A and B are shown apart, each in its own frame.
Chain A
Amino acid sequence: MTAAQEHLDPALRVEALASLLTERGLIDPATVETFIKTYEQSVGPMNGAKVVARAWADPDYRARLLADGTAAIAELGFKGPQGEHIVVLENTPAVHNVVVCTLCSCYPWPVLGLPPSWYKDPSYRSRVVREPRAVLAEFGLELADDVAVKVFDSSSEVRYMVLPERPAGTEGMSEEELAALVTRDAMVGVAAVGAP
């Protein structure tokens, strides 16, 4: 890629690339559209929220989820395009987990959809490793000194998802009600799940 080309409008570059690939029979525009629609509209953090709610409600599922995240998540029908291995990290009163991808933006797409812009930002990717407590505080999550913070760096082989702590006051809630409490940020580890 020449320097001059990089200054061209990215919209034109994408259109040019798509038109050439289509003319050469390498891609079908309908396939491209389907992928976009699927990730914009169908796959979102609700998949992950359902996984978390099931784990909160069903101790056996929770055990399977922590033992083999990929298999337990597939039980609910969620599978990724890349065949990535998903490891679920359990938050406890003593340990808080937070996820990053320092090299690019590896992210558990099947359960969380596509990453938010801050997850892709160079500042988050470098700072959360060096000073996780400060970064979490900027997200509004103040952790007590006796809570250990563990930072997990995603890779092509392993995508991490956090299982947040179940908030107090949710004892009588259904799985659907529980899932509605779970946010994307809680499953990346930059937030806690608040009480209803």
Chain B
Amino acid sequence: MTDPGGHADTAYLLDSAGPAAPPRDNGELVFAAPWESHAFGLALALREAGCIVWEDFRQALISEIGSWQASRSAAGSWSYYGCWLRALERLADERGLVTAGDLRARVATLAARPSEHEPGGLPHDHDATRAPAGAGHAG
């Protein structure tokens, strides 16, 4: 495990935790939802493992952001990490790490789980086939 931040100066950070506590005091949370941080960490882990080259990922991200901007009238609201995730999925497919078909199948498997296994406890009201709330919590 390399030290991605090079934070050799822990004592300094602790000393300064009051008036300028990093990193949230200087702005908002860096991640709006757990999946965003997970997508972020996956990209860095794949790079560290040598599975992807960072510049390739960056180019894929630029391409995804460009696509969103070109079709913004039809697309949903802006999501930076949505573009990040699509870039990661595309690169994983192109590199043969995880094909789009494999990913689709796994998403379907995960989506079919009982509700107590939903990641992050996010609501899934659009899933009309789901059992009523509470029905899946007997175990």
Contact = CB atoms under 8 A, between A and B. Distances in A.
Interface of A: 1-2, 5-6, 8-21, 24, 26-28, 31-36, 38-47, 49-50, 74, 76-82, 103-106, 109-110, 113-117, 120-122, 156, 176, 179-180, 182-185
A146 B124 CA distance: 55
B92 A17 contact: yes
For A5, A12, A43, the residue with the greatest tally of chain B CB atoms inside 10 Å of its CB is: A12
Chain B binding surface SS class: helix
A184 B32 CA distance: 18
Interface residues of B, number: 76
A45 B107 contact: no
Contacts of A8: 107, 111
B132 to A, nearest CB: 20
Interface of B: 1-10, 12-13, 15-16, 19-20, 22-24, 26-28, 30-35, 37-42, 44-49, 51, 54-55, 58, 61-62, 65, 69, 72, 78-82, 85-86, 88-90, 92-93, 97-98, 100, 102-104, 106-107, 109-111, 119-120, 122, 124
Contacts of B78: 121-122
Contacts of A114: 23, 30-31, 40
B45 A35 contact: yes
Contacts of A76: 9
B86 A156 contact: no
